[in-house]
Structure 1
Amino acid sequence: MEIRPHPDWRQALVESYDDIFRPFGPSAAAPGLPAVDDGWRDLLERACARIRASVRTHGGSLRVTEISEKYGSLRIRWEGSMSPEAAARVEEAVDLAEARSATTCEVCGEPGVLRAGEWLATRCDAHGDGRHPAEVEQGIEHPHVERRFIDGHWHAVFRFYDRTSDRFVEADFPCSQVE
């Protein structure tokens, strides 16, 4: 009898959400297998639940094609076919996960900050490995810029991630028109 090792959380995540990692059946490869440390496990589980709910509620299909770290924060790539409303909700779930990763230690999941060194990494003090926090202008930490078509013109809407409520809040300053 062959004894299989217990799959780690990454494989378990793919198996739990096979409808978004392998929408074409269990034999299909899961190219989106997370390539990140353990500290981002919870935020990925939350993101997958939000993505699944969006697709089930609004219809369509998608496949997660990549989950990785770049410049100290999470990147989730996907492809699919769905209504604009469903796609917007999926993008919001992805944006929230990526924004939360910029405030979460990738090693342990505790609150963290972007740290500079040989490469950028989001780490808590305990896992900072002597890296100093990256310089970020006070008051504009974790910005998220969104383009919206308002009154016949494109505008930039600035939102910021609020870790406590796990949502975006709009900036108090006015939007500027963008081309």
Structure 2
Amino acid sequence: MAVIVSWRTYLAQAHPRLFENDRPESSLGYARYQEGWRDLMDDLCATIEAALGEDEAFRFLGIGQKMGLFWIRWEGEVSADTRAKIEEAIHLAAKRANRTCTICGLETAPKEA
């Protein structure tokens, strides 16, 4: 019998350096948003993992949306250079999220000023 794992649990298991994985569903960083941001978050996680040095640590404390806006809280033991890379990755993910449907994941064109 096949075990079906939710995409939220899969995301946490696919990026073990970033999430508490004993029980992903009860982790503070467990995805609390709809599936439309799934690819966006997978890309963000891969970018953060690539930025982390071998002896550095990162953990999501919260990921979600409020009034359609993407937010992330995190903590970690990282260098100033790594922190800058992580913050830039989060900033770019937030910009992408602001033009991505939370339900279907369809991206719209950026709004012009």
Q: Does 1:32 align with 2:48?
A: no
Equivalent residue in structure 1 for 2:40, among 35, 38, 43 = 43
Q: Does 1:78 align with 2:74?
A: yes
Alignment of 1:19-168 (within 5 A): 19-22=17-20, 26=22, 30-56=27-53, 59-112=55-108, 139=113
Taking only the aligned residue pairs, the percentage that are identical comes to 32
Bigger helix fraction:
2
CA RMSD of aligned residues (A): 2.3
Q: Which one has a bigger Cα radius of gyration?
A: 1
When normalised by structure 2's length, the TM-score is 0.85
Q: Name the CA shift for 1:102/1:85 in 2 (closer, same or farther; >3 Å).
A: same
When normalised by structure 1's length, the TM-score is 0.56
CA distance in 2, matches of 1:4, 1:19: 26
CA distance in 1, matches of 2:95, 2:108: 12
Can you give the 5+ residue segments of structure 2 that lack an aligned partner in the other structure? none
Secondary structure class of the residue paired with 2:52? helix
1:111-163: per-residue Cα shift (whole Å, max 9, x none)? 248xxxxxxxxxxxxxxxxxxxxxx8x51xxxxxxxxxxxxxxxxxxxxxxxx
Equivalent residue in structure 2 for 1:14, among 12, 15, 18 = 12
Aligned residue pairs total 111
Letter of the 1:60 counterpart: E
Q: How far does residue 74 in structure 1 lie from its aligned partner after superposition? A: 1.3
Q: How far does residue 70 in structure 1 lie from its aligned partner after superposition? A: 1.7
Bigger strand fraction:
1
1:42-66: per-residue Cα shift (whole Å, max 9, x none)? 0000000001111137x52110110
